[in-house]
Structure 1
């Protein structure tokens, strides 16, 4: 009797699984049949009135070399589009396309133009499609695009280290002097960290949305930025709270990670500016970046003032926060695209928001969880100082 009941239960379980599987497969089968019917019968033909298809073309990268100009374009129209002619400075030029033929929606192609560009001059490129649509791109200042040679990489690494690694290291060097601060001093430093991170959050989101506006429409730039920032925030919150609320060295690592992701976006922007000739970084501007980023090292040091980490920890934190500036500069000068820069900044913004939440939580815990800790004079002074310092030094680097 027991075996019969068990067998009956097993059969019911098997039937329930098959029924569940059926209700997964059936909707997918209906969808497949609907797509097949739509493609084969073309019921939309009666709605076509002879108007040309919607076309969109985005210029993602420009390379200037001895052989002329090469541009990377991405199609975003409703149907594959064909490039018929190319103009440079209102004159038609022969061109080659790789890969050749129509460019499918979302696909990219390189267009090579043997145009004798002039160093320091501005040039205008117009791409004409088979339907007669014209898409323009301006080269504001023509300069040779950096190449993949060791000297170029070394020079970019030095610059990235100067604007990313050096200021963080200088900020962390204040660690011994900061260890003697009392309760009010600790509140000031933690709030200073929140202030500088709040500025970086707003700055990263603003830059990400601006870059998203330059990307192809199919990437849905603003939506991508918001979703990426939220996903980054939630994932890092889940990782950080997996073993409880992060404090001390763990919190310092998260602060360094958030700052590092932001510096990755800054490095991408600097590298892209070099590659396009849109900005020449003079000594004043480089010093401005350095001064702007020094406070980041102090923010990283704040959660570990009650500890005595070994020297290698400070080295690791410096590289985690400042090293991405070097990587971003390399990538930006060699393989820049606005949508990926926007995505990097959005991920950095989410990471920074996670750190703001954790540092504010630490500040509350140190004050017995009372929300009034956020309005203590030392906390308010630190918050205002962090935002003000970052805002004023940002004036030196905005071009």
Structure 2
């Protein structure tokens, strides 16, 4: 192979195919920073050859710019483009990058707002919001634990089936969001393939870990449910944080209340497998932190160091973890019916799945904008 590659470079047989057409060029804007110095764009090259940015337009007017590092942008590499443009708060702006071959790449700034900086006040405010939309509903859901401890077999089947229903909705919703972010990432990352491969890898890895000592149940199963929900909340936190940084997140009080209501059943789902156990109080705190805490971390990272491919990857891993939990909870329900598939076709199970999906779908109407 080394010899063949050496000959390919030395002999250059591809020269006969050169008809004078410019190389294929591709440029993706991964991050936008607005401050008192103007605009800064992090761009990634994805063409067949290195490309040079020759001109920059902002709102159809040419502007001087500075590139760091200077020179051609190779395939897969990144560069910062700094433009001393006096952006207007609340206005929309359009940036056009022109290469030396005349190819143009547009980037829209829907609402111009200053990019958040890592101050203690900003991080504290984001942590408070992340805790409210991530941890508070989990804690409220876990507070149903004492009332559900006396549940009979039918109620247990209903609750576990409801867990499968709401996790099924989360799985579909997470895959959809991951593919949306993957479509915004550079072509070099092969967005759709990355999403499905990462989800499959996360699913298989967690399945292997969970089956090392037999099939998980009780507290172990509740921990895996909390982990899957936590990874999903981490991806959602990344999206919310990035939207804040781009000035596109108008989270009003009603929307935050919608997030809280939407996530309450996640706490009930975590509590369902441990109704027959009596774990200490600190275990509930740890489960709530595992499921809701990642929303805070995601919001911090999303507002400070956002890139669409990382959001897609985080959501894909979360989808794989959720699918693993769906399989384990379903297996747990089958074991309670002597391993028969017919046990999943009972009225409590069917009703629980329907309630889980319906509640998540209905409350999602409050948070989708």
- Which TM bucket (shorter chain)? over 0.9
Q: Tell whether 2:278 aligns with 1:308.
A: yes
Residue aligned with 1:333, SS: helix
Given candidates 282, 291, 295, the residue that maps to 2:252 is 282
Query: Which residue does the alignment assign to 2:303?
Result: 333
The separation in 2 between residues aligned to 1:97 and 1:162, in whole angstroms, is: 40
Query: Which residue does the alignment assign to 1:110?
Result: 80
Alignment of 1:78-157 (within 5 A): 78-157=48-127
Query: Which residue does the alignment assign to 1:324?
Result: 294
Alignment of 1:244-263 (within 5 A): 244-263=214-233
Q: Tell whether 2:228 aligns with 1:265.
A: no
TM (norm. structure 1) is: 0.92
The separation in 2 between residues aligned to 1:38 and 1:340, in whole angstroms, is: 35
1:356-395 CA distance string (max 9 Å, x none): 0000010111111121111110111110000000000101
Alpha-carbon shift at residue 179 of structure 1 (Å): 0.4
Query: Which residue does the alignment assign to 2:44?
Result: 74
Q: Which runs of 5+ in 1 are unaligned?
A: 1-30
Query: Which residue does the alignment assign to 1:62?
Result: 32
1:244-291 CA distance string (max 9 Å, x none): 000000000000000000000100110011000112110011111111
Q: Tell whether 2:323 aligns with 1:353.
A: yes
1:309-341 CA distance string (max 9 Å, x none): 001100000000000000000011011111110
How many residues are matched?
A: 369
Alpha-carbon shift at residue 226 of structure 1 (Å): 0.6
The separation in 1 between residues aligned to 2:150 and 2:39, in whole angstroms, is: 59
Alpha-carbon shift at residue 188 of structure 1 (Å): 0.3
1:204-256 CA distance string (max 9 Å, x none): 00111111111111111001111011111000000000110000000000000
Query: Which residue does the alignment assign to 1:364?
Result: 334
The separation in 1 between residues aligned to 2:121 and 2:278, in whole angstroms, is: 39
Alpha-carbon shift at residue 43 of structure 1 (Å): 1.2
Given candidates 195, 219, 222, the residue that maps to 1:225 is 195
Residue aligned with 2:322, SS: helix
Query: Which residue does the alignment assign to 2:9?
Result: 39
The separation in 2 between residues aligned to 1:169 and 1:201, in whole angstroms, is: 22
Alignment of 1:148-187 (within 5 A): 148-187=118-157
Q: Which runs of 5+ in 2 are unaligned?
A: none
Flag as ranges the 4+ runs of structure 1 deviating above 6 A: none
The separation in 2 between residues aligned to 1:314 and 1:39, in whole angstroms, is: 62
Given candidates 172, 175, 178, the residue that maps to 1:205 is 175
For the pair shown, which has the larger CA radius of gyration, 1 or 2? Answer: 1
The separation in 2 between residues aligned to 1:280 and 1:229, in whole angstroms, is: 30
Residue aligned with 2:288, SS: helix
The separation in 1 between residues aligned to 2:145 and 2:93, in whole angstroms, is: 51
Alpha-carbon shift at residue 42 of structure 1 (Å): 1.2
